[in-house]
A and B are shown apart, each in its own frame.
Chain A
Amino acid sequence: MSIRPLTLNGLDDPETSFEELNTTLPRFQSHETSTLRDSAPPLSTSTYLPTPSSIGTSDTGTVFSNSADAFWSDKQGDNDQDMEVEQDDEFLNDFQEFQNKKDDFDDAIKTNFHLRNKCGSTPFKNVDFVNEFDKKLNFELDKPRLKQPRSMMELKSRRKLSNSVSSKNLKGGNSVRFKKSMPNLALFSSTIREEEEEEEEGKGEEQQEQDYEDDDTQGTILARFSSDDEGGFLTGFGELEDEPLDQTFSLSRGQDLKRPPFLKRKSASSLPLKISPTQYDIVKHDELLTPGLHSRQREWNTQQELDSFREERPVRRYPSHNLQLHGPAKIKTIKQQIDHNTPMKKGSMVYNPQTMKWEGNENVLNKFSDVDTANRKALLIKNKLQRDADDHTAKQKRYSDLQNSRSASRNQKVVGNMVLDEQNLRWVSISEDEADPFAGIPEINPPPVRTTMKKRSSSPFLRSQSQLSPSPSSNGNNGGYQSTAAQVRLRKYHSMRSLNAPPEDLALNTTFHLSSKTLEKFYHEENRWNRKLASWFIPQDETITGVDEETMDESTIGGKRKSYMYEIRNMVINSTKD
């Protein structure tokens, strides 16, 4: 997920932006708080900052989804309760830190609003807003709404949709449009944004106020996330920079850091929102959220500013005077905490931040230890069939002699009512009490057959032959009647394999195993010989040529055979006589 394109293109590419939202936002509710702060400006600024406002709306959409999540989970408590519980605690703890400094935060907001009023285009009753804001802050402190933090993994696009819906329900009719539009904005088209803009502009603070009530949680969050943690955040941030996700944050941070002047302006303009900030929270939320960051960039506008921020990035420590800036920063910190310090849980897996490993599925490895002991059988069979086989082992042993020949088909554990006996590699009936046809026959395992078994298993060549020849176990089970017959058969099928080979001679495998190329050469040479010399042997008596032939007529053949041995003598004698 590249942040850059998002920032530059803004909402033009809705899908990507949405994805980012998913990943980054859900995890940290701190975003919400931060967004709350920022949310104020777009509303106020919408008048004099056209583009930013649109962005703001889109942001709000995303933010809202998050906030909606929070609400949703609180009320329904449906999803991922295991995870949430743990995370909730963590989050609350985090927030507690901020709670102490809530005052500062409130002050900051108030100041922002005041500034805004001064600069602001729309008149606001700052005091009222402030009061309401304080009330809501207090109110929310009691509420455990922050529980919802979720790991990035959990959040899915559907969820956001659901969240958005929930958010609608939660918030008043005024806000409904707003919230509806939010997810749409984030996901899809700019037209929706425009609508939001209109909404924001036209309905202004009133709606926002109403929204404010609903958004109390966000407000509290904001309060808790004061700039106090900047230092920790920054340090943690430094650590994070190496990670890909951090890039997004780094961008946002850099913007934030540079922002202060800019933000001030906005805040000043948005001051009237002071009460509304909660209402605006939605809007601001969005901005604060990672997507918010993008939107902000636009708002602040413009790549020029962004570029300037980039350059200045290296300067991490920035004066904490801008509360709004800290919002995103906090998001980062929270993220860091989760990544590095917080044990995370996902299903049955627990993340151990110290070892940086996920733990909890060690038992899965046990399967592999069993594999080593199962040399003789196909590994696949063993693993696959263990479960099923356990149930039927007893039966299988009883019917150990059944259907050995079928062992070749190894892929299936159960076919019909037959079960593959993993130990003996044969199929056994699941149904009860089949007669054992080999019950009365003692088991005899002729040693030569066994040796071939071993070798076959070790040699692919032989394995391929195994289907042709009766399975070793069947030979053994068939017992006495076929010990020689089995050998004959095995000899037949195992081309180069020795039946009587002493087991210790593994080297024999190479000596007595000829490659197919060699065999081919043998036959080639024989054929060649046949083509050329067969005529010399056609009239020949078979008894002479056949080495194995025993029916040799010695008187004739012996005489014939020895006659040539006198040829040389005759020649010599004749020559000497001459």
Chain B
Amino acid sequence: MTSIEDIISNPPLLLHSSLSQLRYLVLSEGLPISEDKQQQRTRCYVWTVLSQTSMETSTQRYLALLKLGPPSTTIYQKIKNDTSRTFQTDPNFRNRVSEDALIRCLSCFAWQTQQRRRKAQFNESSSKTTRIPVSTYVQGMNVLLAPILYSCPSEPMAYQLFSKLCYEIIPTYLTKNLNGAQNGAKLLDVSLRIIDPKLSKFLSDNLLTAEIYGMPSILTLSSCNKPLDQVIKLWDFMFAYGFHMNILFVVAFLVKMRSKVFRSDSPVNLLRQFPDFDADEIIRLGVGFIAKIPAQIYDLLVDHLTDPDIYIP
């Protein structure tokens, strides 16, 4: 832990190696879950470093977007409808994150998305990633934003991380038809079939596809599961080694509860909400699954976050 802070505090000699070192420390030591403000900052700093998200002028940008006020009424109504329900039952989250903060960040994201679209029209040479039509708002963004706001000391930094996540890390998840998330569901099916054929067969026999039981966790990068602090730890790992790991983590969720699923009369209801989990256990399981995942499937896992046009067998 202190070593993580040391690494962060010192300028990296070689950025790549320093980042690798930091990742490994996050995996091996982990970041503590704490109410401490300084710990919260450390987590945010680690996230920004791992995701290479600069906070320079973040406040200025955020306020510039905030000046635009709420987005169009339809978007704003959608946002408000979801923010009012975001982690309603989590007192810790409610204490630390106000609904107004959620609304502000999501509104700013809607504005920025519109600006990016406008720019994209005049800039055909823009990269593939930036051409992905990220929605101004889709349901689930609120849940994606929640852990970030929860972990960041200030709104502009959270927004900067959030926009980084949405525009560059998982842009395909946030398109209008949720291409990336659907591909993720397919990859979940594939991965589960590879990792736990028996469970996969059982679910498919019960007409349970990954789009039914896996979509919430995929779309929200597992942040829809409880408890939030464990979600944060999952995110620590995913910021370090990639959010494609989320698919394998969902497999881990399923494998962890496979015995219950088999015994359940109504696996649909059982899978509607995953039980409380321990992040370290899920991470261990998920990382362990990597060995079983063929390279090409792993490539698909990596690519499905940023490439909406992948083909999944």
The residues of A with any CB-CB pair to B shorter than 8 Å are: 491-492, 494-502, 505, 508, 510-512, 514, 519, 521-526, 528-530, 532-540, 544-548, 550-554, 558, 561-562, 564-569, 572-573, 576
Contact = CB atoms under 8 A, between A and B. Distances in A.
Contact of B19 (A491, A502, A514, A564): A564
A550 B58 contact: no
B216 to A, nearest CB: 23
16 contacts: A499-B67, A500-B71, A502-B73, A511-B103, A512-B69, A512-B70, A512-B104, A522-B63, A523-B59, A536-B12, A547-B53, A547-B167, A562-B306, A564-B20, A564-B241, A566-B298
Contact of B56 (A496, A545, A548, A567): A545
B243 to A, nearest CB: 8
Contact of B123 (A521, A528, A550): A550
A501 B69 contact: yes
Contacts of B11: 535-536, 538
Contact of B100 (A511, A521, A529): A511
Given A491-B67, A536-B15, A565-B302, A545 B54 contact: yes
A568 B290 contact: yes
Given A540-B54, A553-B127, A532 B8 contact: yes
Interface stretch (B153-161, B188-196, B200-208, B227-235): B153-161
Main secondary structure, interface of A, reads: helix
Q: Which 10 A-B pairs have the closest CB atoms?
A: A498-B69, A565-B242, A535-B11, A545-B54, A525-B154, A568-B241, A552-B127, A572-B290, A501-B69, A522-B59
A500 B69 contact: yes
Nearest to B55: A529
A522 B157 CA distance: 8
B263 interface: no
Interface string B113-138: 00110011001001111100000000
Given A525-B157, A552-B127, A564-B242, A569 B67 contact: no
A550 to B, nearest CB: 4
A521 B62 CA distance: 13
A500 B110 CA distance: 13
A178 to B, nearest CB: 86
A213 B245 CA distance: 123
B271 to A, nearest CB: 26
A233 B235 CA distance: 96
B52 interface: yes
Interface residues of B, number: 76
Contacts of A534: 56
A160 B312 CA distance: 113
Interface centre among A500, A550, A554 (most CB of B within 10 A): A550
A508 B70 contact: yes
Given A491-B68, A502-B73, A564-B23, A532 B45 contact: yes
B56 A511 contact: no
B49 interface: yes
Interface centre among A499, A535, A540 (most CB of B within 10 A): A535
Interface in B56-89: 56-59, 61-64, 66-73, 76
Given A525-B157, A547-B160, A548-B116, A537 B69 contact: no
Given A526-B58, A530-B56, A539 B15 contact: yes
Contacts of B45: 529, 532-533
Nearest to A565: B242
A524 B157 CA distance: 11
B1 interface: no
A523 B9 CA distance: 20
Given A498-B67, A529-B55, A562-B302, 19 more contacts: A497-B67, A498-B69, A511-B104, A512-B70, A521-B154, A523-B59, A525-B41, A529-B157, A532-B8, A536-B8, A545-B52, A546-B54, A551-B127, A552-B127, A552-B129, A554-B127, A562-B242, A562-B306, A568-B290
B48 interface: yes
Contacts of A551: 126-127
Contacts of B20: 564, 567
B302 A566 contact: yes
Contact of A522 (B156, B290, B291, B302): B156
B163 interface: yes
Given A525-B157, A532-B9, A537 B128 contact: no
Contacts of A532: 8-9, 45
A138 to B, nearest CB: 93
Contacts of A536: 8, 11-12, 15, 18, 49, 52
Nearest to B122: A550
Contacts of A494: 67
B186 interface: no
B164 interface: yes
Interface in B136-157: 153-157
Contacts of A544: 52
Contacts of B270: none
Given A495-B67, A511-B100, A547-B163, A567 B23 contact: yes
Interface centre among A502, A522, A554 (most CB of B within 10 A): A522
Nearest to A542: B54
B155 A522 contact: yes
Nearest to B27: A568
Interface string B8-47: 1111100100111001000100000000000001001100
Contacts of B212: none
B310 interface: no
Contacts of B293: 569
Contacts of A539: 15
Contact of A530 (B55, B69, B116): B55
Nearest to B101: A511
Given A564-B242, A565-B244, A537 B70 contact: no
Nearest to A554: B127
A514 B71 CA distance: 17
A311 to B, nearest CB: 75
Given A536-B15, A558-B129, A499 B69 contact: yes
Given A526-B156, A547-B163, A552-B127, A495 B63 contact: yes
A568 B287 contact: yes
A499 B68 CA distance: 6
A576 B290 CA distance: 10
Contact of B153 (A505, A525, A537, A554): A525
A307 to B, nearest CB: 75
Contact of A554 (B23, B128, B291): B128
B164 A547 contact: yes
A504 to B, nearest CB: 9
Contacts of A497: 67, 69
A422 B81 CA distance: 44
B69 A526 contact: no
Contacts of A512: 66, 69-70, 104, 107
B70 A550 contact: no
A559 B24 CA distance: 20
A533 B55 contact: yes
Contact of A550 (B56, B127, B164): B127
Nearest to A505: B70
B210 to A, nearest CB: 21
Nearest to A519: B63
Interface centre among A522, A569, A572 (most CB of B within 10 A): A569
